[in-house]
Amino acid sequence: MSKKILTTQQVAEMLGISPGAVRQKVYRGQLPARKLGERIVFLSDELEKFLEDLPTVVPQKWQRKP
């Protein structure tokens, strides 16, 4: 595993949301992040694991009916 450091801007681009939305998710505890001085940074390994561990969402219309 490589410990690449990502910026808020890079994570925003990865997730398709604004940097402000990324910061809000960090402050709400919805994304794992670290403080580096005054900056918020992300470890790529931690972020990837966090995203992999999220539950898969299947739209109801795709679910099989019993």
Domains identified in the chain and CATH numbers: 5-55 (1.10.10)
| Distance in angstroms (rounded) separating the CA atoms of residues 15 and 55 | 16
| Distance in angstroms (rounded) separating the CA atoms of residues 50 and 46 | 6
Cα-based distances in Å from 10 to 16, 18, 43, 44: 10, 10, 11, 10
**What is the pTM assigned to this prediction?**
0.78
pLDDT of residue 2: 60
pLDDT band with cut points at 50, 70 and 90 for residue 3: confident
**pLDDT tens digits along 27-64:** 999 999 999 999 999 999 999 999 999 888 877 776 67
